[in-house]
Every structure is written in structure tokens, then in C-alpha cells.
Structure 1
Amino acid sequence: MGCECSKFSDCFASEETKPVAHVPDNESIGKSEFGLPAFREFTIDQLRTATSGFAVENIVSEHGEKAPNVVYKGKLDNQRRIAVKRFNRSAWPDARQFLDEARAVGQLRNHRLANLLGCCYEGEERLLVAEFMPNETLAKHLFHWENQPMKWSMRLRVALHLAQALEYCTSKGRALYHDLNAYRIVFDDEGNPRLSCFGLMKNSRDGRSYSTNLAFTPPEYLRTGGITPESVIYSFGTLLLDLLSGKHIPPSHALDLIRDRNLQMLTDSCLEGQFSNDEGTELVRLASRCLQYEPRERPNTKSLVTALIPLQKDLEVPSHVLMGIPQDAAAMNLSPLGEASLRMDLTAIHEVLEMIGYKDDEGAATELSFQMWTNQMQDTLTSKKKGDVAFRQKEFRTAIECYTQFIDVGTMVSPTVFARRSLSYLISNMPEEALNDAVQAQVISPLWHVASYLQASALFTLGKENEAHIALREGSVLESKKNATT
């Protein structure tokens, strides 16, 4: 069930049979517009690796009993960040039906959508793979904001971008959207709002189209249990109310306030002075049209776009500025290690790795002490110790050779050894190998900020500036969380 939230509340909401063949990560094959790869099928092993074994730390949202599914963040071998929606085992028992539905949604490509990149239907597993949007949901920014309430001009931009997303989907024959709400709108790297592609598919073959509070569902859905394009317009109207009020107000209550001309009670007090009465009245009028009891009296998506374009303000201001989202490393307040990664100061990074030793291996030392009893393990540990000596003395080619002997035995995993070999590769002008090791370190230890920083340095070296800044930001966030808990 959904909940009626204010921005100060603490409520939580969010959001199986033939095997598939391995598909290479080469995105130059079948690329579509916007630089996105064509829809593809993933194996469960690929997605398990991308999400560090579906680690709890990578969960970004999960539904309750009515729609048991979980969304994870992950990263593919080619560094593309993804969101992976994993359904419960009883969902979509017909693999062909799931694949056909996913493929249809996967044909959509638009800059107003968080686009569907692929799916997995291996065994009993049913998963969807989409673009990852790093800057939270509309619900977070509207109801649970921390630093600043969303500006009026940004709220108007959200409404327009959402209307344009729905118009695009309608033009492509995908007019039905299930449970459109503030948790379905996510923000990309630039702070632009996008409509999640997940809502274009039901939670399961026989799943309900709405899992939110009944007070927010279209009246015809309550009568028939069916969803129509006009039902989506009704949900769009509830979102307009959310944007205007900063609260999740039941449509019946909002319509009472509108009839009584009590617009002050309907307007977010944080917006005082940001818009004129005429602007507010126009948005209220549009919302009330969307919330008409009779579906045929509601506007279509094209009319929504036409009505919202003239209301737009601050068109020259980027979304990330309106949202207060940092876009450069300076705004991240980087630590010395983060600064060193940004500058690609490999000497400074070497000093940090030497200083932390192996304390980030999370129990690996205990495992080592038990394995020292065998001669084979003793030889393996000797390789590691020789690698440590070479690393300390900055003999990085030797360090690579010794650490490789230790890693290839495979009797234990150590994120720190991968990090040390990654830096050794970087210093030896082998950035691809360095990037692979940094990614492996993060697979072993998903919350270890050093792994993200090493990825950033490797990506900078490879000339992948955008990806590098993303990894740098991830490292900064992880380091801040670690410092907060210690």
C-alpha cells in the first residue's frame, strides 16, 4: 500500500524457461539513438556479477507483499551502470510472455525515459535491466527533501518532461503505464527527470496495475480492475497535485479544496513568492481536468504537453542547478584520496594503500591464518609477501607478477590485493588491466570507496571523463558513509 506522505515523514515506499546465450558487451553492435545499446538478453551470471551477487548494499528499492520485487544497482563489465529489477519467483511463469513484453518495451528509446536495456529469463529468474538514474526519485526530492525544497520552475519541468515521456510512449503504442506515481520518476546525472520504464510492464503477468492507496487510483479501475490510457491521465493529475502541494493529497480532498477555491491549502508553503496566482491557477485547472470522474472528459497526452509548454520558466538554467546537485569534483568536497584520484597522483594513492594495509579485507587475515598450515598455501602466501615487498619498494612490474601468482591460486579473495595490483598496472601504463582489477575489488567489497577511486583514475587515464567523474562521485559518497558510521 502507498502512504500519504509529507516531506517531513519517515515512511518508506519505492518500488522463469529456456537459458539465454551469452551476449558480448560490445555496445557498438546494434546501437540505437541516444548512444544506447539495442535491447539484449542477459544471463543470470552476468547480472549476479554486475550486482556483486545481488548484494543487500546494492538494493535501491523494494516493494512489499503485493508486488514482491527488488531493484538493485549494478555495473556491467564495460562500466555501464544499470538498474536491475528482480521479480519474485512466482511472477511471469510463462517465459515467452515475459520476453515478448520486455522486448516490446525495450524497443522504446527516448531521452525522457529511463530506458529498458535488456532482460533475463533464465530458469525461474525474471529480471529487467534499465539505465541507472543516480539522483533519487521525485518522491525523495518532493516529500523527503533534506537540503532544499524543489523550486517551482523545476516542478514545472518535471510535469512537462513526464507529459512528453507519456506522449512518446503513446505514439509508439505503449499508452498504458501501471501505477504512475512519484516513485516512478527518477533523475539522471544531469538532474533531468525521467520516467522509469519499469511501469510500462506489470509487476507480473497477473499482477495488479496499482499497488498504491486506493484513494489515489482511478475510479474506473476500482469498478473494472482494468487500466486504460485515460487511467494514466488520472494518475498524471495526482502527480500534478503532488508537485503543487509538496504532499500526497488524495484527489477527492484536493477537488473539494478546488471547488471551495481554497487554493492556499493546496499550495506548498515553500513555494511562496516563486509563482503568480495565474500560474498556480493554470496548473490547478489542468490537474482538475485530469481528475475528471468520466475518463472521456480527461485530456490526452498531446494536450498535456501543449498546456505545459507555455508555463515553463528558467529555461536557460540546467536542471542540476535548479536541483542543487553537484556537477563537478570541487563541489563534492573530495577527501585527499579523492583529490589524488582526480589528479591521477599515483604516488599519493600508493601512500594511502600502504598506510591502510589489509584492514579493509573484512576477515581475510583470519582465513589466511588457517590456510597457512598447508605447504601449497605457504607458497601462495610467499608470493603475496613478495608482492607486498615489491609494492612497498615501488617495483611495480614485480608486484604485478607476484600478486598474479597469488590471485591465480584462487583459494581466497582479497579486495586489497586487487587494489594493489590495479595501482601497479596503472603505474605500469596498463589502464585497462587496472580498471578490471579495480572493478573486481568492488565486486568483492561493494562498499569500499578505494575501489571506486581507483576506477576513476583508470577511467581518466583511458580518456573516459564522464565515467571517471561518476566513479569519483560514487567513491566520495561511499567514503562519506563510511566516515559517518565510524
Structure 2
Amino acid sequence: MCMAWTGNLIDIQKFSEGGTDLNIRLAYTKLGDTITTSQPIKDPEAIESAGKMFQLGFFSPVNSTYRYVGIWYSNISASTPVLWVANRNKPINDSSGMMTISEDGNLVVLNGQREVLWSSNVSIGFNQSTAQLTDDGNLVLKAGPNGNLEWQSFQQPTDTYLPKMRLSANARTGNKTLLMSWRSSSDPSVGNFSAGVNPLGIPEFFIWYNGHPFWRSGPWGGQNFTGKPGMSTSVYLSGFTPQDEGDGTFTLSSIQDPAFRLTYVLTSHGKLTEQYWDYGKGGWKYDWEAPSIECDIYGKCGSFGSCDEHNSPICRCLKGFVPKNQDEWKKGIWTSGCVRMTSLQCDRIKNGSEVGKEDGFMKLEMMKVPTFAEYWSYPSSEQECKDECLRNCSCVGYSYYNGFGCMAWTGNLIDIQKFSEGGTDLNIRLAYTELVADNKRNMKVIISMSVIVGAIAMFICVFFSWKWMATHRERKLTSEETLSFKTREAQETVFDGNLPENVREVKLEPLFKLQILETATNNFDISKKLGQGGFGAVYRGKLPDGQEIAVKRLSKTSGQGLEEFMNEVAVISKLQHRNLVRLLGCCVEGEEMMLVYEYMPNKSLDAFLFDSLRKGQLDWERRFDIINGICRGLLYLHRDSRLRIIHRDLKPSNILLDHELNPKISDFGLARISGGNEVNTTRVVGTFGFMSPEYLMEGRFSEKSDVFSFGVLLLEIVSGRKNAHFYSNEHALSLIGFAWKLWNEGDIAALVDPAISDPCVEVEIFRCIHIGLLCVQELAKDRPAVSTIISMLNSEIVDLPTPKKPAFVERQTSLGTEATTQSQKINSINNVTISDLKGR
């Protein structure tokens, strides 16, 4: 029973035996702003800066009992982040810690045994010194009669950049002042990610993963970083400026007033976030983060490849270039990049071939320009910049940025991205013949478009004439007849093997009128759009009775979408289960074909699971309920429905969440009806990273194929990370391989998402990881059935078998690669298709 007291505590007595524990709330004892030999701070004491802006004291991270010395903002009612940590790699096990000045004048952190866990570690030369916490959030160590500055915490930041801090890098010595991420939210030790200035070429801000580039800001353009157009203007108003110190050192500094409480934090997941204190609302506000999309990952498309999140696939070679490895490119592995089709003039001269006409340039607008740009100070105009690049045989591209000048590139062009706004123009050097061919293609396009526009005008005239005549005669086919006809027409191509009798004649009720759905979605307004897939788009709508719906609208140009549409009509119209998304009806009118679903307000599981700000809403109890719900939906598909369905595309984006975060399996466009036995197909479809080995390699699929996908999904739910985040691991491991490695090392706790790490549920979490590894075993016969998985989850089966080595232990795709739906003919060249439905 919990008892609490307010006001004065009266009549307290100490017993020699019996009684109960009484916990007295104590405030931090604040000891001014200074630490000296005679005035140390002991846990739980703290010092506070003179203007009461910052505090330094002892703290424990969330879900941890270890004690650390850190700096945080003072006088903030809400939870305040820790901005700097002293003994981040050597915690104190109890509350006996102390920070003081040692005999050699260094600032040190000691434990109860007076062991030095951390030291400022400078040669001072005086046995007396003083440490002071300033109103900038800087802990400074001064010594000598003149108070010379010997050390400061701003020189050794942890994961947070504060105003007036200086991040520097020396191109000659390689020395850098970097932000270093925490290992997790409960562990401030040095993590996998670091961030700082790259001094090579024009200065850029980089995030590195274990020393390898992970994200970059684009070169400094005089007023901003050109590769992050979504940055808040507060970044530039704060006075960020890279400075050349003259000795090969570049420094990024700011003159922002610390009272504004603006910080940049490098999270344990490798995201740089801008956040500031909203004095009006009394809380932290997050303005932007990077990387924020898949194209932000460094080198996503390799050399001479361009990334555009609005394209499908997102990577394309620049004009005049072709994929270096066609097979990898078709599989969605783009890091090998592209190669030039026609040699440049200088290369032709070197090879002794016919020179031909001079090279030219192709302009790309609104681009994130490549990495390692060189600044050419002498060209004073864009034309001079262009001419100088042509004269230099090593120059393969240039950009003239107003207010800054000429940027040029030699060698391979890496990490190019297309923006929808912002960015700068990038000019790529091409052989003359490539530019002529491109102009000819453009002329053909213009001629073709003129012919098409004329044909459309003629068609419109014919159409309205026909429509006027059509109003005077009966329609020969009703909407129901059209649907029935199209279903019969598509049956032989949609299903593998013979059709069950109860699917031969599909009639779906109710049939919605097109006008009703147009009204419900505000004529399919872009603001109502929820997602986009190979079939077309999904829109949010509201029926006249107030019911909210999601409308999947088949694209008129999508051949894949027609097949998926007919497949989903045939399959999901026969299914009813609380963990499957409910199909409310359809619309077949003229060329329009649409499916109408119940609306899921919380969109898809990945929108929570992989969002650093929202994943906290999924505690372990909620995640376990989601795992169970997915399992019960799969059991219904495999065993309990009138049809036996194999989903074939189970992944987080296809798990929708209702208003109570209950899971519902969606997107049955790739599902197949099975008689319960293994089925062979010559067309493999699904999502890389989730497809079982026997299906991906041989085209054989069964219920155990869905079990494999569920195993990967289960590992993602427990770890809170995408498959792709492990592809950049220094051991080149997939998520499955990483889990298997930790399992064999007995360190499976390292896989668990810090947001759910809790000793009280550790056994249940580890059991789920064990089950996940059983599901992804290489041989289908070794994987448990879904009914067995449910018994394992609920501990009805207590002793679990030892998992065998999983499939795909090594990584299958490139750094940061998102899963891509593939379609391939067995023993033939792959054909890529997309079936990526966003959360509805």
C-alpha cells in the first residue's frame, strides 16, 4: 500500500526493530557555480551557473541505476535532456560518487573507493585550480594566478551541440572535435554514431557510423548548408559560420544566445535533431531531423546515381550513364553506382581515338550536389566557372551558387539527391554525342506530345458526342456485371493452380457509386492522399453518414494494379477477422476501379516503430499485443478461413493500427489461395529482407514462407529498427545475422530496443527473440507453424527448441536500403515492381 504526506512531517520515531521504511524527498543541494579542492560536489549535490541557466550534478538515465555526472538546463519543469556527461564510459555503481579537484589540479570524478573514473587529463603545472559552470553551459577549468583556461567541456562534447560551442577539424592532422552519440537512451557511453565538420574541400557537416559516412549536410554555401533545404531558419539566424583558421583547421561556431535554449542532438539511432525550448507552451519543440528519408543516407545510389524519394525505384543513373552492375541494380542494390556510356574528350585523346566535338554540360535543377566539392575562387561568373571546368580534364561537373561562387568536382560524383524545393543547379559533363542524342530524344518527345495533345482534343470531342448519344440508350453492362466479367477474365492469371469453387463467382456488396467516393475524398484531393503504391493511390474519405474510409484507387496506367485489384477482390471479400483490415465494398464504373476499406487512424506499424519520437508509445505490453494480434490474423488466414491464404508480403508497413493500436493485416494484392501444400510459381513477388530462401531462390512458397516473414517482423518489433539499419554494420550483417551473432555470444540484450528495455519483462522479450530466430531458420520444415508460435508466445509450450542457423545471415542489400518489392521470373532476368502501400 502506498502512503504519501504533504506539508510538515510530525511525530517521526526511529525503532530498533519493526516499523516501516520512510522516504524523505530532498532537493539538490546547490553549492554556487564553482568546484574546488575544498568544495567538491557529492551525490546528490549540484552546482548552478551564476545566471541559473545550467546545473551540474549526478543523475541516472532512464531504466538505469548507474550514476553519472552531467550538465542540464536549470529551472525547466518538464523533463530536461542531459547535455554533457563526464564519466560516460565508467558509471558509478552507487550514490557514493564525487567530483572534485585532484592533487595535480585536474578535475576528476571519483567513486566511493576514491578510484578515478574520469579526469580532465591536462598538464596544469599548478596544484591549485578551480572549475566553474558558466551560463553558456560550459564547464571550465582554470589555474594559476591569472586564471588561465586549461580545459573546458566544450572541447569534449558528448551528443549535444550548444550555442557558442565550436566543432573543429584539422585536414592536416586529422584531429576533430565531434559529437558522439549515446549507446542508447539508458546508456550514455560512446555509441556508434559521431558528427562534426569534414574539412576536405568545401566544409560540410557529416554524421559517421563507426567512421563511415552516414549523412552529410551538403557544402556550405555562404549562408546555409545547401544539402538540407528543410532546415529551420533559426539555424542560420543563430549565426552558424565555418571559419578557416589558417592552419588547415575548419571550425563551425555559433553566436546564438544560450537563453534561447537551442540544441542539436545526435541520437543513438544516428539522427541529428534540432530542438528548442518553447517558453510559451513550456515544452521542447522539435523542428527537423536528419537523415529523415531514405535518400538522405550517404551514397544510396552509388557513383553517378541520383536519388529521388518521389521516384520508384528511388535510384536512377544520371543521363549518359548506365548501371555498373545490371543484376544488382534490378534487385534494388544500387551502391555499385553507374558508369559513363561515352568517353569524354580528354579520355578519347588519351586513348588515341577520334576526338570529335567538345564536351558539354547537362543541367540538373534543385539538387543536393555531390560530396567533396572544390571551391574555385577565380571564376567570377557562372560562364567562367563552366569554361574553367571544360579546360580542366579532371573536372566532371560544376555548380555556381549565387553569393558563394564556383564549386567543381573531379573523380566520381557520389551522394546526389533530387529535391522538390531548394537545392542548387548541378551541371554534369557529358560527351557531345550524348547531348545531341538527348536533344533528339527531347525533340521526339515534343513531336510525340503534339500528336498526343491533338489526339486527346479529338478524343474529347468524340467522347462528349458519344456520351450525349449514350444517355438515350440503355447500358449493356451493369457495374455488377462488369466486376463479374473482369473477375473471370483475371482469374487464370491471378491464382496459381486451380481455382477453388467458392472463388469462381465473386460478387462484392455494396457497390459504391463513383460520385459518392469523389465527394467523400473531395474529388481525390492531394491533401486526402494517404499513400502510393504500384497499383495507384490511397485516399482518406468520409461517407455521408460520417463513417471514415480509405479508398484504394487503381491507377489507369498500372497493369500490376489491375491484377492486385482482382486478387484482393477475390481473396479479402471472403475473409472476416478482427486482425484483418475490413473491406467495405468497391466501385467499378467506366475505367475507374476502387476498393473501399475501413479507415485506420494510426496508419501503419512502421510509422510508430521506426520513429524516434513516436516509438515510446509502443511499450512492451503494447508490442506484445501487436505480435499476438498478427499471429492470430495469420492463423485465421492459414487455418481458420474458408480459403487457405498465404499473404506473401508481411512487413510493418502492411500492419495497420486502429484507434486503440490493435494490429490489422492489410494489402492482399500479392496473397495466394493454397490447398495447404507447397506451391510453385515462376513469378516471385514480395519484399527483399522478408522473403524466405526457398521462395526467393526457387519460387516455392507455403505457410512457412509467411512464418519466415513473421520472424523478421518479430525481430524488428523487438529491436525497434529496420532491416536496412543493420546493412551498414561493420560486419556486413543483416538484422537476422546480427541477432544470430548476439545469440551465439550470449548478448541478446543488445538487440532489444532501449525504449522497451525493462528487467521486469526481460524474460518475455528474450523469449520472443528466441521465437523469431526459430521462424527464420533456413529450412521450411524447421520453422514452427503459426498455431505453435501462438502456444510458444503464451508459454503453453515452455521449452523451446534451439534454433538452427538462419537464412540470409549476411546482408542482402546496400547501406540503408529499404525493402523493395520485387517480381522475378525464375532463372531469368528480374523485373522490378513496387507494392509498397503506405499506412492508411
Scaled by the length of structure 1, what TM-score is found?
0.52
What residue number does 1:400 align with? none
Write the letter of the residue equivalent to 1:115: R
Whose Rg is larger?
2
- Distance in 2, matches of 1:227 and 1:292, equals 15
What residue number does 2:479 align with? 20
- Distance in 2, matches of 1:53 and 1:286, equals 47
Match of 2:783 among 298, 301, 321: 298
| SS of the residue 1:271 aligns to | coil
What residue number does 1:287 align with? 772
What residue number does 2:755 align with? 270
Match of 1:72 among 536, 539, 543: 539
What residue number does 1:338 align with? none
- Distance in 2, matches of 1:166 and 1:102, equals 19
Unaligned 5+ segments in structure 1 are: 23-37, 312-486
Structure 1 pair 274–177 and aligned structure 2 pair: CA distance change class (3 A): farther
| SS of the residue 2:646 aligns to | coil
- Aligned-pair Cα RMSD in Å: 3.5
Give the 5 Å matches for 1:256-267.
256-267=741-752
Write the letter of the residue equivalent to 2:695: Y
The offset of 1:226, in angstroms, is: 5.0
Greater share of helix: 1
TM-superposition CA deviations, 1:173-214 (whole Å, max 9, x none)? 243113111111121122322222545648xx998631x3x2
- Distance in 1, matches of 2:521 and 2:670, equals 23
The offset of 1:274, in angstroms, is: 5.2
- Distance in 2, matches of 1:197 and 1:223, equals 23
- Distance in 2, matches of 1:6 and 1:236, equals 24
| SS of the residue 1:72 aligns to | strand
The offset of 1:94, in angstroms, is: 11
TM-superposition CA deviations, 1:58-114 (whole Å, max 9, x none)? 111123xxx252211111222221111123324468979955751431121121122
Equivalent residues of 1:7, 1:145 under 8 A apart:
no
Match of 1:143 among 606, 610, 624: 610
Matched, 1:192 2:662: yes
Taking only the aligned residue pairs, the percentage that are identical comes to 28
Structure 1 pair 93–237 and aligned structure 2 pair: CA distance change class (3 A): closer
- Distance in 2, matches of 1:138 and 1:101, equals 21
- Distance in 1, matches of 2:706 and 2:608, equals 22
Matched, 1:166 2:634: yes
Structure 1 pair 206–141 and aligned structure 2 pair: CA distance change class (3 A): farther
Match of 1:155 among 599, 609, 623: 623
- Distance in 2, matches of 1:281 and 1:199, equals 34
- Distance in 1, matches of 2:768 and 2:740, equals 13
Equivalent residues of 2:683, 2:699 under 8 A apart:
no
- Distance in 2, matches of 1:219 and 1:94, equals 26
TM-superposition CA deviations, 1:310-367 (whole Å, max 9, x none)? 49xxxxxxxxxxxxxxxxxxxxxxxxxxxxxxxxxxxxxxxxxxxxxxxxxxxxxxxx
What residue number does 1:209 align with? 685
Structure 1 pair 40–227 and aligned structure 2 pair: CA distance change class (3 A): farther
Structure 1 pair 152–118 and aligned structure 2 pair: CA distance change class (3 A): same
Match of 1:238 among 681, 702, 712: 712
Equivalent residues of 1:219, 1:293 under 8 A apart:
yes
Match of 1:44 among 504, 514, 536: 514
Scaled by the length of structure 2, what TM-score is found?
0.31
What residue number does 2:553 align with? 86
Equivalent residues of 1:95, 1:121 under 8 A apart:
no
Give the 5 Å matches for 1:417-428.
none
The offset of 1:287, in angstroms, is: 0.3
What residue number does 1:181 align with? 651
| SS of the residue 2:717 aligns to | helix
- Distance in 1, matches of 2:682 and 2:532, equals 19
Write the letter of the residue equivalent to 2:794: I
Q: Which has the higher contact order (CA 8 A, sep 6+)?
A: 1
Give the 5 Å matches for 1:403-418.
none
| SS of the residue 1:236 aligns to | helix
Equivalent residues of 2:682, 2:699 under 8 A apart:
no
Equivalent residues of 1:7, 1:143 under 8 A apart:
no
The offset of 1:165, in angstroms, is: 0.8
| SS of the residue 1:121 aligns to | strand
Give the 5 Å matches for 1:90-109.
90-91=557-558, 98-99=565-566, 101-109=568-576
Write the letter of the residue equivalent to 1:51: T
What residue number does 2:594 align with? 127
| SS of the residue 1:299 aligns to | coil
Aligned residue pairs total: 284
The offset of 1:157, in angstroms, is: 0.5
The offset of 1:303, in angstroms, is: 1.3
Equivalent residues of 1:142, 1:149 under 8 A apart:
no
Write the letter of the residue equivalent to 1:237: G
Matched, 1:253 2:535: no
- Distance in 2, matches of 1:220 and 1:206, equals 13
Structure 1 pair 144–101 and aligned structure 2 pair: CA distance change class (3 A): closer
The offset of 1:149, in angstroms, is: 4.7
Give the 5 Å matches for 1:215-230.
215-230=689-704
Structure 1 pair 107–277 and aligned structure 2 pair: CA distance change class (3 A): same
Greater share of strand: 2
- Distance in 2, matches of 1:116 and 1:228, equals 25
What residue number does 2:425 align with? none
Structure 1 pair 275–235 and aligned structure 2 pair: CA distance change class (3 A): farther
Write the letter of the residue equivalent to 2:510: R
What residue number does 2:105 align with? none
- Distance in 2, matches of 1:293 and 1:42, equals 46
Unaligned 5+ segments in structure 2 are: 1-267, 272-290, 295-308, 313-475, 482-507, 673-680, 724-734, 797-840
What residue number does 1:308 align with? 793
Equivalent residues of 2:521, 2:541 under 8 A apart:
yes
